[in-house]
Structure 1
Amino acid sequence: MERDLDVATRTRMIEWLKTEVVDQMSRLFKAIWDGSTARVVDGLAGLIASSYILGRRLGIPYREVDNAIADKLNRLKQEGHQLEEHYQDLSELSEHIRKR
Protein backbone atom coordinates (compact mmCIF):
# COMPACT_ATOMS: atom_id res chain seq x y z
CA MET A 1 0.00 0.00 0.00
CA GLU A 2 2.82 2.43 0.91
CA ARG A 3 4.58 1.73 -2.40
CA ASP A 4 1.36 2.44 -4.31
CA LEU A 5 1.02 5.73 -2.46
CA ASP A 6 4.63 6.63 -3.35
CA VAL A 7 4.04 5.84 -7.04
CA ALA A 8 0.86 7.90 -7.02
CA THR A 9 2.63 10.82 -5.34
CA ARG A 10 5.49 10.70 -7.86
CA THR A 11 3.06 10.51 -10.76
CA ARG A 12 1.08 13.45 -9.43
CA MET A 13 4.30 15.46 -9.01
CA ILE A 14 5.36 14.73 -12.60
CA GLU A 15 1.94 15.82 -13.86
CA TRP A 16 2.17 19.01 -11.82
CA LEU A 17 5.66 19.73 -13.19
CA LYS A 18 4.38 19.30 -16.75
CA THR A 19 1.75 21.95 -16.09
CA GLU A 20 4.43 24.13 -14.49
CA VAL A 21 6.49 23.98 -17.70
CA VAL A 22 3.45 25.06 -19.72
CA ASP A 23 2.66 27.82 -17.20
CA GLN A 24 6.23 29.12 -17.34
CA MET A 25 6.08 29.15 -21.14
CA SER A 26 2.85 31.14 -20.98
CA ARG A 27 4.40 33.63 -18.55
CA LEU A 28 7.40 34.00 -20.83
CA PHE A 29 5.23 34.69 -23.88
CA LYS A 30 3.19 37.27 -21.96
CA ALA A 31 6.38 38.96 -20.74
CA ILE A 32 7.71 39.13 -24.31
CA TRP A 33 4.41 40.61 -25.44
CA ASP A 34 4.54 43.21 -22.65
CA GLY A 35 8.19 43.99 -23.32
CA SER A 36 9.29 43.57 -19.72
CA THR A 37 12.93 42.47 -19.62
CA ALA A 38 12.74 41.53 -15.94
CA ARG A 39 9.68 39.37 -16.53
CA VAL A 40 11.27 37.78 -19.63
CA VAL A 41 14.33 36.83 -17.57
CA ASP A 42 12.08 35.50 -14.80
CA GLY A 43 10.04 33.51 -17.33
CA LEU A 44 13.15 32.03 -18.95
CA ALA A 45 14.59 31.14 -15.54
CA GLY A 46 11.34 29.49 -14.46
CA LEU A 47 11.05 27.54 -17.70
CA ILE A 48 14.62 26.29 -17.55
CA ALA A 49 14.42 25.40 -13.83
CA SER A 50 11.10 23.61 -14.26
CA SER A 51 12.49 21.66 -17.21
CA TYR A 52 15.56 20.55 -15.27
CA ILE A 53 13.46 19.50 -12.29
CA LEU A 54 10.98 17.63 -14.49
CA GLY A 55 13.91 15.78 -16.02
CA ARG A 56 15.21 14.88 -12.57
CA ARG A 57 11.79 13.58 -11.49
CA LEU A 58 11.86 11.44 -14.65
CA GLY A 59 15.22 10.00 -13.57
CA ILE A 60 17.52 12.15 -15.72
CA PRO A 61 20.43 13.76 -13.82
CA TYR A 62 21.08 17.46 -14.36
CA ARG A 63 24.52 16.70 -15.81
CA GLU A 64 22.95 14.43 -18.43
CA VAL A 65 20.65 17.25 -19.50
CA ASP A 66 23.66 19.59 -19.73
CA ASN A 67 25.52 17.03 -21.85
CA ALA A 68 22.49 16.53 -24.11
CA ILE A 69 22.22 20.30 -24.62
CA ALA A 70 25.92 20.50 -25.52
CA ASP A 71 25.56 17.58 -27.95
CA LYS A 72 22.47 19.15 -29.52
CA LEU A 73 24.23 22.48 -29.98
CA ASN A 74 27.20 20.75 -31.64
CA ARG A 75 24.90 18.84 -34.01
CA LEU A 76 23.02 22.01 -34.94
CA LYS A 77 26.30 23.84 -35.59
CA GLN A 78 27.49 21.01 -37.85
CA GLU A 79 24.19 21.14 -39.74
CA GLY A 80 24.71 24.83 -40.41
CA HIS A 81 21.83 26.16 -38.32
CA GLN A 82 20.98 29.74 -39.26
CA LEU A 83 21.37 31.03 -35.68
CA GLU A 84 24.98 29.89 -35.85
CA GLU A 85 25.62 31.19 -39.34
CA HIS A 86 24.20 34.64 -38.68
CA TYR A 87 24.86 35.25 -34.98
CA GLN A 88 27.13 32.47 -33.59
CA ASP A 89 24.52 31.95 -30.84
CA LEU A 90 25.12 28.20 -30.71
CA SER A 91 28.88 28.61 -30.26
CA GLU A 92 28.38 31.19 -27.53
CA LEU A 93 25.92 28.98 -25.67
CA SER A 94 28.23 25.96 -26.08
CA GLU A 95 31.08 27.97 -24.58
CA HIS A 96 28.88 29.14 -21.70
CA ILE A 97 27.85 25.57 -20.89
CA ARG A 98 31.43 24.31 -21.22
CA LYS A 99 32.67 26.88 -18.69
CA ARG A 100 30.04 26.05 -16.05
Structure 2
Amino acid sequence: MSNEFLQIGLIHHTPHHHHPRHGQDVAPRRAELLSGASRLRARILRSSMCRAVGRLTRLMHLWRRRLAESNKLREMSDRELRDMNVNRYDVAHAVRRPFWRS
Protein backbone atom coordinates (compact mmCIF):
# COMPACT_ATOMS: atom_id res chain seq x y z
CA MET A 1 0.00 0.00 0.00
CA SER A 2 1.26 3.36 -0.86
CA ASN A 3 1.73 6.33 1.40
CA GLU A 4 -0.77 8.35 -0.70
CA PHE A 5 -3.67 6.33 0.68
CA LEU A 6 -2.27 6.69 4.15
CA GLN A 7 -1.95 10.45 3.79
CA ILE A 8 -5.52 11.01 2.59
CA GLY A 9 -6.95 8.76 5.27
CA LEU A 10 -8.19 5.83 3.20
CA ILE A 11 -6.11 3.43 5.22
CA HIS A 12 -4.74 3.55 8.72
CA HIS A 13 -1.23 2.59 9.47
CA THR A 14 -0.89 0.37 12.45
CA PRO A 15 2.45 -0.91 13.51
CA HIS A 16 2.85 -4.63 13.10
CA HIS A 17 2.84 -6.43 16.37
CA HIS A 18 3.92 -9.89 17.09
CA HIS A 19 0.80 -12.05 16.85
CA PRO A 20 0.70 -14.54 19.68
CA ARG A 21 0.61 -18.17 18.88
CA HIS A 22 -2.37 -20.20 19.89
CA GLY A 23 -2.67 -20.29 23.67
CA GLN A 24 -0.21 -17.49 24.32
CA ASP A 25 -1.49 -14.22 25.73
CA VAL A 26 -4.90 -14.59 24.07
CA ALA A 27 -6.68 -16.10 27.05
CA PRO A 28 -5.60 -13.42 29.54
CA ARG A 29 -6.84 -10.65 27.26
CA ARG A 30 -10.15 -12.42 26.79
CA ALA A 31 -10.35 -12.97 30.54
CA GLU A 32 -9.63 -9.28 31.13
CA LEU A 33 -12.44 -8.31 28.74
CA LEU A 34 -14.84 -10.74 30.33
CA SER A 35 -13.97 -9.61 33.81
CA GLY A 36 -14.45 -5.99 32.72
CA ALA A 37 -17.84 -6.82 31.23
CA SER A 38 -18.87 -8.79 34.28
CA ARG A 39 -17.75 -5.93 36.54
CA LEU A 40 -19.90 -3.55 34.50
CA ARG A 41 -22.89 -5.89 34.72
CA ALA A 42 -22.36 -6.27 38.46
CA ARG A 43 -22.19 -2.48 38.91
CA ILE A 44 -25.39 -1.99 36.89
CA LEU A 45 -27.14 -4.73 38.84
CA ARG A 46 -25.92 -3.30 42.15
CA SER A 47 -27.15 0.20 41.31
CA SER A 48 -30.55 -1.03 40.14
CA MET A 49 -30.89 -3.17 43.28
CA CYS A 50 -29.99 -0.16 45.44
CA ARG A 51 -32.67 1.92 43.72
CA ALA A 52 -35.23 -0.86 44.17
CA VAL A 53 -34.36 -1.26 47.85
CA GLY A 54 -34.59 2.52 48.30
CA ARG A 55 -38.03 2.64 46.68
CA LEU A 56 -39.20 -0.28 48.80
CA THR A 57 -37.86 1.37 51.96
CA ARG A 58 -39.66 4.64 51.18
CA LEU A 59 -42.87 2.74 50.47
CA MET A 60 -42.63 0.86 53.77
CA HIS A 61 -42.09 4.16 55.65
CA LEU A 62 -45.14 5.64 53.91
CA TRP A 63 -47.28 2.63 54.86
CA ARG A 64 -46.10 2.74 58.47
CA ARG A 65 -46.91 6.47 58.64
CA ARG A 66 -50.39 5.92 57.20
CA LEU A 67 -51.04 3.07 59.64
CA ALA A 68 -49.86 5.21 62.57
CA GLU A 69 -52.05 8.12 61.43
CA SER A 70 -55.14 5.92 61.17
CA ASN A 71 -54.43 4.49 64.64
CA LYS A 72 -54.07 8.04 65.99
CA LEU A 73 -57.40 9.04 64.44
CA ARG A 74 -59.10 6.02 66.03
CA GLU A 75 -57.73 6.94 69.46
CA MET A 76 -58.84 10.60 69.34
CA SER A 77 -61.75 11.74 71.42
CA ASP A 78 -64.91 13.27 69.95
CA ARG A 79 -63.83 16.70 71.13
CA GLU A 80 -60.41 16.44 69.37
CA LEU A 81 -62.15 15.31 66.20
CA ARG A 82 -64.64 18.18 66.43
CA ASP A 83 -61.72 20.62 66.74
CA MET A 84 -60.45 19.30 63.41
CA ASN A 85 -63.95 19.44 61.85
CA VAL A 86 -64.05 15.65 61.52
CA ASN A 87 -66.73 13.33 62.85
CA ARG A 88 -66.62 9.66 63.84
CA TYR A 89 -68.21 8.59 60.57
CA ASP A 90 -65.40 10.25 58.55
CA VAL A 91 -62.78 8.59 60.77
CA ALA A 92 -64.44 5.15 60.42
CA HIS A 93 -64.59 5.59 56.66
CA ALA A 94 -60.93 6.70 56.41
CA VAL A 95 -59.67 3.97 58.74
CA ARG A 96 -61.56 1.23 56.87
CA ARG A 97 -59.48 1.88 53.76
CA PRO A 98 -56.34 -0.30 53.47
CA PHE A 99 -53.16 1.54 54.51
CA TRP A 100 -51.46 0.84 51.18
CA ARG A 101 -54.12 2.90 49.37
CA SER A 102 -54.24 6.63 49.79
Choose 1 or 2 for highest CA Rg: 2
For normalisation by structure 2, the TM-score amounts to: 0.38
